[in-house]
Amino acid sequence: MLLSDWAVLKPEKVKVSKLTTPAQKAVCENARLNRHARIVRDYLSRKGLLVDAESLDRSKIAVNEAVCQAREHILRNAKGDYRPDPDAGRFPQLELDAKPLLETATDASMLPTTIFDSYAKEAELSYATIKSWRPMIAKVEE
């Protein structure tokens, strides 16, 4: 996947055929711009956001670069290099709610059995499946 990203986003990192015709260049540019277009469109749709064509293109380019950066970092990790990503500073800090997990688990809706029961109903699990799994899940609450 990273090699594919490099081919369209960073051709200097891989050996590719030289694009000589305008048609070849157009195909490559289209591939570069739309590499992760579905992800961007799905995200914007879920958030109910409408953007103009220029903003959509800029978003797709930013997502392409971020995905490539993430894959490069994973490749470095796979090779045993676990240093922080040198380019990670370009992203804002992730701020999570500092509530301890145990505080949220006291809410009855967050108990493992409540979550399992909700899942079992939604997934239409058989009685036998529920009967065999629920006792093990109840032990987690103890």
- Give the residue carrying structure tokens 């493992």: 112
Give residue limits of the domains in the chain: 2-90, 101-141
Query: What number is the average pLDDT over the span 44-72?
Result: 92
**Which residue from 55, 64, 10, 11 is spatially nearest to 37, judged by alpha carbons?**
64
Give 85-137 pLDDT, tens digit per residue: 989 999 888 887 766 655 555 566 678 888 888 888 888 989 888 888 888 88
Question: Are the C-beta atoms of residues 31 and 64 closer than 8 Å to each other?
Answer: no
**Which residue from 39, 34, 67, 68 is spatially nearest to 53, judged by alpha carbons?**
34
Question: Are the C-beta atoms of residues 32 and 64 closer than 8 Å to each other?
Answer: yes
pTM over 0.75: no
> What does the DSSP 8-state code read for residue 79?
T
Of the two residues 141 and 17, the one the predictor is more confident about is 141
Query: What number is the average pLDDT over the span 14-23?
Result: 72
CA-to-CA distance for 39 and 24, rounded, in angstroms? 25
